[in-house]
């Protein structure tokens, strides 16, 4: 009887230890926006399961935690006079698995032939 009780006790202790280990939070994917455009920007994150708007002042940066999925951004750049322009970026994949999460860094700037393709957008898309 004592041997059976000892085995049950060991099994319960191991189950508690394993369950506590499995509740550790997994790292979450992030997207960091760095604004080098010369104008304040607001980024609309679209397409994936995490959506919303991120304000990024000129010369500043902001990060957002997201879920895995396929995303694109629409960015509104506004100068000091209040004149705004819009651009839509191509889609990109954010990875989120037990083995890997994305850490994406997007630099916002208005440059032709950059490494992240953007096209002009309308205020309606924003």
The CATH class of the 25-125 domain is mainly beta
pLDDT class of 37 with cuts at 50, 70, 90: very high
The pLDDT value recorded for residue 7 is: 43
pLDDT at 101 exceeding the cut of 70: yes
Is the backbone of residue 45 left (phi > 0), alpha (psi -120 to 50) or beta? beta
CB atoms under 10 Å from CB of 92, counted, come to: 17
Question: Is residue 57 classed exposed, middle or buried when 0-12, 13-18 and 19+ CB atoms within 10 A define those classes?
Answer: exposed
Beta bridge partners of 65: 30
| pLDDT tens-digit series, residues 38-81 | 999 999 999 999 999 999 999 999 999 999 999 999 999 999 99
| pLDDT tens-digit series, residues 8-29 | 433 333 333 333 444 457 789 9
């Amino acid at each position: 009887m004592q041997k059976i009780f000892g085995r049950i006790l060991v099994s319960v202790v191991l189950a508690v230890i394993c369950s506590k280990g499995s509740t550790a939070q997994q790292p979450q994917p992030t997207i960091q926006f760095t604004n080098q455009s010369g104008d304040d920007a607001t980024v609309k994150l679209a397409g994936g399961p995490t959506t919303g708007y991120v304000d990024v002042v000129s010369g500043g940066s902001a990060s957002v935690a997201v879920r895995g999925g396929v995303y694109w951004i629409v960015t509104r750049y506004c100068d000091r006079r209040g004149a705004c322009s819009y651009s839509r970026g191509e889609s990109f994949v954010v990875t989120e698995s037990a083995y890997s999460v994305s850490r994406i860094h997007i630099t916002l700037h208005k440059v032709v032939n950059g490494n992240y393709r953007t096209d002009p957008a309308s205020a309606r898309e924003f």
